[in-house]
């Protein structure tokens, strides 16, 4: 099924409040939902929630895009659970000024759709927004979601960039923050820019622009390391435990050469005339043995043994008994 825009939620601007919920509309199960948020002070942002679904921040990768003044983010929910009365609610820790724009799409992967992002902003005059280019998209058929805001006074409007369509926007800067959500459906891989412009605002002082792309089929998991790297000491190649269900952690410094002649544990001195059982500390190496014969005596005569002993493989180097 081709990617298509279904409908947008009514854009809503909330001013000097701690909770805001937009106008409800019906949504369809397994569709895709994109949400753009602007807030005047991101330190006050607490949470965002939507009926029966979880929104995941997609752009920027972390934090906020806030070069131009107010802060913006793009959230998404893939494979949504539809609801007859579907809303988006933003909560803040103290009264704030924020905007919520959202739109619904069909034809996207119900999981693993998220692909690429880019973001940029300008502090100062300017009404042409450009997120910068994303890395090359993975799939030919993707949805590009752009979200931008204008820091300014007065009231204005937003104009979609080339090949984009604005689906939800608020331009009443005189009373609070602004924002506009736009989209573009592409059929070829490429590095795409989120483009938008504004008109009619008074004294623009900055803008921010984000783009996030989403694919029609689930993207393969990238070659991602899970957990920390662990060096396996030579020559102990022990059992390996997968930390994830489907990826084996990388293995470093594995030496499959034959086990070298290595002593395990320190030599152990055997007390005089008491050569008892010897326990190997490892399965395949015997510890070195040495006998202290300094005070040994003849069992027959009691005469001291002046020298003698056994060293390595029972070789008698020298010895004797003096009568």
Partner 1 sequence: MALNITIPAASLAVGAHTFGPGAIPAGLSHAMLTLDTTPYDALPGPTLDFKAELSQDSGVSFPITLATAKYVPPNGSLHGVQQHTTSFVVDLPGVSPAGNTWRIRATIIVSNQSYDPVNTGSLAVT
22 binds partner 1 (CB under 8 A): yes
Per-position x/- string for 36-55, each x denoting binding to partner 1 as judged by CB under 8 A, each - no binding: ----xx--x-----------
**Given CA atoms 107, 113, 118, 121 in this order, what sign does their dihedral have?**
positive
Nearer to partner 1, 59 or 100 (CB): 100
Residue linked to tokens 């009926």 = 51
157 binds partner 1 (CB under 8 A): no
Nearer to partner 1, 18 or 106 (CB): 18
Chain-centre distance of CA 80, in angstroms? 22
Which of 19, 29, 30, 47 touches partner 1 by CB under 8 A?
19
176 binds partner 1 (CB under 8 A): yes
Nearer to partner 1, 97 or 129 (CB): 97
Nearer to partner 1, 38 or 193 (CB): 38
Q: Kindly state the tokens that stand for 177.
A: 């923050």
Q: Kindly state the tokens that stand for 63.
A: 């934090």
For the chain, the first-to-last Cα distance in angstroms comes to 105
232 binds partner 1 (CB under 8 A): no
114 binds partner 1 (CB under 8 A): no
Stretch that binds partner 1, among 171-179, 190-198, 215-223, 290-298 (CB under 8 A): 171-179
Q: Are 26 and 82 in contact (CB under 8 A)?
A: yes
> Which residues of the shown chain bind partner 1 in the complex (CB under 8 A)?
10-24, 40-41, 44, 69, 94-97, 170, 172, 175-176
């Amino acid at each position: 099924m081709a990617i298509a825009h279904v409908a947008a939620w009514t854009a809503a601007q909330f001013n000097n409040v701690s909770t805001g919920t937009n106008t409800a509309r019906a949504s369809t199960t397994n569709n895709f939902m994109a949400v753009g948020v602007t807030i005047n002070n991101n330190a006050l942002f607490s949470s965002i929630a939507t009926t029966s679904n979880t929104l995941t921040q997609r752009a920027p990768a972390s934090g906020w895009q806030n070069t131009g003044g107010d802060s913006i983010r793009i959230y998404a929910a893939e494979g949504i659970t539809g609801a007859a009365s579907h809303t988006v609610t933003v909560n803040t820790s103290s009264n704030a000024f924020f905007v919520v724009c959202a739109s619904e799409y069909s034809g996207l992967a119900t999981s693993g759709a998220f692909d690429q992002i880019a973001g940029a902003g300008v502090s100062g005059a300017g009404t042409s927004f450009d997120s910068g280019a994303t890395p090359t998209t993975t799939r030919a058929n993707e949805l590009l979601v752009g979200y931008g805001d204008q820091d300014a006074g007065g009231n204005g409007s937003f104009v979609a960039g080339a090949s984009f369509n604005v689906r939800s926007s608020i331009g009443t800067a005189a009373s609070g923050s602004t924002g506009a959500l736009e989209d573009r459906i592409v059929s070829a891989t490429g590095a795409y820019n989120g483009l938008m412009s504004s008109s009619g605002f008074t004294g623009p002082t900055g803008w921010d622009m984000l783009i996030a792309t989403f694919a029609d089929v689930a993207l393969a998991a990238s070659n991602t390391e899970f957990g920390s790297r662990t060096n396996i000491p030579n020559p102990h190649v022990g059992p390996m435990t997968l930390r994830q269900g489907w990826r084996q952690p990388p293995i470093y410094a594995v030496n499959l050469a034959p086990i070298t002649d290595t002593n395990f544990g320190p030599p152990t001195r055997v007390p005089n005339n008491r050569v008892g059982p010897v326990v190997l500390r490892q399965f395949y190496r015997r510890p070195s043995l040495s006998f202290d014969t300094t005070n040994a005596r003849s069992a027959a005569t009691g005469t001291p043994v002046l020298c003698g002993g056994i060293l390595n493989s029972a070789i008698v180097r020298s010895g004797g008994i003096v009568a």
